[in-house]
Structures are given as structure tokens and as C-alpha cells.
Amino acid sequence: MGGAGGRVTTGRRVVGVVTVSRSDYGHLVPVLEAIRDAPDLELRLLVAGMHLAASFGRTMDTISADGWAIAEQIPMLEDSDTPEAVAASTGRGVARFAHAYTRQRLDLVVVLGDRFEMLSAAVAALPFALPVAHIHGGEASEGAMDNQIRHAITKLAHLHFASAPEHARRLAAMGEEAWRIHTVGAPGLDRLRAFTPMSRADVATALRLPPAGPWLLVTFHPVTLEYGDTAAHVDELLAALEKVDDATLVVTYPNADTTGRVVIDRIEELAARSPRVRLARSLGDRLYLSLLAHADAMVGNSSSGLIEAPSFALPVVNIGSRQRGRLRAANVVDVEPRRDEILHAIHAALAPAFRRPLEGLANPYGDGHAAARIVKVLREAVLDARMIQKRERDHDPAR
């Protein structure tokens, strides 16, 4: 078929993969490896958004250091975190992804998740009749605009890679044809199958942590549908953390969301006055996963607490509505953004009686073999008019 920029598909299928932040990159690495190893696929990596920003650790350099060739660098973020700036960044991203698609002449593009930068990539593909494959569709995170973005990408996408049967059923309920929906699991879990964590001593050295005493991994993002309350939310969290006086806090930076600067200002102020705080713009995948293996609890509202943390039997205190509606395992304690509730939940999560039953916990997001299933579909899918011309189905059961 004719692809982006008038490309005619012959020989190896050219697959673009979009990554926009440190969080999606870790999940995409197993997919990148599987595409690279497929003899009939050619990988083009499109790097955008936070990866290019020094204020978020310029993680594009990490991608290059990992040995991945970057086909396109797509700067799109405004130097602000207001609603106007996020909307403008989205529009800028549409234009710049369009330019990239014209240059790269892809047969298919892969996006993951629910970031506004990913929405830009999916919208830009539409006029090219460029098939979009979407990973992690059908999920819910009702407190964030990510929820609407994820569902919007679903309607723009032509292939759906669901992380769990529940999510596949939601995709079908949204009118997607059953043959487009593939339940594959979360590809981010693939990297855990052969992962050997750094020792606790090595993690302590890398992050200047005391070897003894509890470690709390803290990641808090703005709740974008409640962005006017960001300051109050983060103040309640930090008030609770300051009362856990025997713990060392490893605090990571938030995403480039509306009012994210408020969170950054607050955590930097906390680090300036407390020697127990270690700030990290980006930990890198190996150190981050090793920290999940050795931390005593995770606190905040990151999806990592629901997707990766169960594989480490790591207790998670999930705050507020950002992840409301998302599939979760028994390692998660949900609380409102109120300091007393947060503090009580942290103490509960740190108790041996809470963690002991989590050993051997099954992760609801799959078995760690998602990438092979995804790439099988990418190789075998017929990219014809039937793929591009979507039809609505009211009650098709998902496979």
C-alpha cells in the first residue's frame, strides 16, 4: 500500500517507534530490541518531548548511550507548564511529527500510553493514512487528562496492544473491531525477566543512601484534571513525608504536565532543607529497577507503582485520583491527598505484616513476553485499505 509520503511497501517493513519520556522508554526497550532482531523489519526511532529537555535530564543522551540510532529528534515543548503551553506544545508536536513522517516514509508507527506528545504523533499520522499501533490502550486513569488522550489515541489507532484482558474488553466496548485488538501484556515487564538488580550496597553508593533504614521512592505528578490543586496536593504529601523521620527519600522529578513546575519547586525546597532527600531528574533504567527491588515502599501517583512494582512485591501508597480506575494488585494502598491518610498508609506499607503476603504476587499486567507478541503482529499485519478504513462495532468481543 502507499504509506507516509507516498512510500510503496517493498522488502523490509519500516516501523517508526515514538518515545517522548523516560517513563515510556523503559517500556519500549523490549519492543525496540524485538523489532531490531526481526529480519523483515527496519526500525526508525523518533525521539521527542521531555527526552530533549535539559530540565528533564536530557534523556535522549541515555538513548544514544544505550546504542540506539535516533532517526528523528522532535523538539515540541514550550518553556512553560500552563494549560496554554501544553496545548501549544501539542500543536507544535503535530506539525513536527508530520515533517518527520514525510522524511522517514514509514509503513507503520508505534506509540505507547497516554502522553499529550503521543497524541501529537497519532494525530499527525492521520492525513498520511499511516497505520498507528497503540500499546497500553483501553486502560483508565480517571483523574488525569491522560485518560481522554489514551481513548483519543485508541480511535486514531489501527492496531491495539492491550496489557490485560480487561483492557481488551474496554477497547471492544469502544467500538474497535475484534481483529485489531491483541492482548499481549505490558512490554515493560519483559525487561524484568532477565534483570539482575544491583546490590543494595551498590544502590546505596550510587544514590548516597544509608545502607540501613527504610528507603522510600517518591514520584508525584500533577493531577491534570485538578491542576488548580497541585500545590495543596504536593504540600500534603511532603508534610506526611517529613514525619517519617527514619526514612531516606529518593524523589524523582514529575513529567512535563500542567503545573509540573509547582511540584518541582516544592521538592527542591524540601531537598534544600532536609538531608534525608535525594533528588533525581532521571535514574536510568537499571538503577530505577534496582531501586524498586530494594526500596521499602513507593509513594506518590506514578503508574509504575501499579505496573512494575507488583513484580518486586513492593508496597505502594497511591495518592489521589490520578490512577483511579487503573488495574492494580494487592501491593497498592489507595489514599486521598491528605497528610494524615498518607502518613498512616506509609506506616502500614512499611510494616512487615503488609509486605510478607506480597511475596510471589502475580502481576496483573502479564507474563513478560509482550514484545514478541507485539512484533509478530507488526510483521504479519496486512497494511491494506481494510487496515486504514476503520469500522465501528458495538459489541464485538475482543480476542
| Distance between CA atoms of residues 301 and 225, nearest Å | 14
**pLDDT at residue 6, rounded to an integer:** 47
Can you list the positions of beta strands (E) in 96-241?
108-112, 132-135, 159-162, 181-183, 215-219
Q: Is residue 94 part of a domain?
A: yes
Q: Is 375 found in the same domain as 342?
A: no
**Do 156 and 26 belong together in one domain?**
yes
Q: In what order do the strands lie in the sheet with 13-19?
A: 70-74, 41-48, 13-19, 108-112, 132-135, 159-162, 181-183
Q: Are residues 251 and 322 in the same domain?
A: yes
d(CA 125, CA 108): 9
Q: Is 5 within the bounds of a domain? A: no
Q: What is the pTM of this model?
A: 0.91
Whether residue 255 sits in one domain with residue 146? no
Residue 30 lies in a domain: yes
168 and 233 belong to one structural domain: no
What whole-number distance in Å separates Cα of residue 227 and Cα of residue 6? 42
Q: Is-contact 218 299, C-beta < 8 A?
A: yes
* Pair 170, 240 in one domain: no
Point out which residues pair with 45 in neighbouring strands.
17, 70
Which residues constitute the domain of residue 82?
13-185+369-388
Domain CATH for 333 = 3.40.50.2000
Answer whether residue 398 is part of any domain.
no
pLDDT, one tens digit for every residue, the chain (399 residues): 444 444 444 589 999 999 999 889 999 999 999 999 999 999 999 999 999 998 888 999 999 999 999 999 999 999 998 999 999 999 999 999 999 999 999 999 999 999 999 999 999 999 999 999 999 999 999 888 999 999 999 999 999 999 999 999 999 999 999 999 999 999 999 999 989 999 999 999 999 999 988 999 999 999 998 999 999 999 999 999 999 989 999 999 998 888 999 999 999 999 999 999 999 988 989 999 999 999 999 999 999 999 999 999 999 999 999 999 999 999 999 999 999 999 999 999 999 999 999 999 999 999 999 999 999 999 999 999 999 999 988 754 544
Of 78, 23, 82, the closest CA to residue 55 belongs to 78
Q: Are residues 147 and 290 in the same domain?
A: no
In a domain, 237, yes or no: yes
Cβ 21 vs Cβ 49: under 8 Å: yes
Is 220 part of any domain?
A: yes
Q: What is the domain count for the chain?
A: 2
pLDDT for res 2: 44
pLDDT at residue 395, as a whole number: 58
Residue ranges of E strands in the chain = 13-19, 41-48, 70-74, 108-112, 132-135, 159-162, 181-183, 215-219, 248-252, 277-280, 297-300, 316-319, 332-335
Q: C-alpha angle 26/248/315, rounded to 5°?
A: 55
Residue 134 shares a structural domain with residue 258 = no
Specify whether 209 is located in the same domain as 95. Answer: no
Cα separation, 385 vs 155, whole angstroms: 17
| One domain, residues 146 and 268 | no
Is residue 280 one of the residues assigned to a domain? yes
150 and 202 in a single domain? The answer is no
Residues 337 and 307 in one domain: yes
Confirm whether 395 is domain-assigned: no
CA 4/CA 1 separation, integer angstroms: 10
Digit-coded pLDDT (tens) for 89-112: 999 999 999 999 999 999 999 999
Lookup: cell for 185: 501484556
Amino acid at residue number 154: T
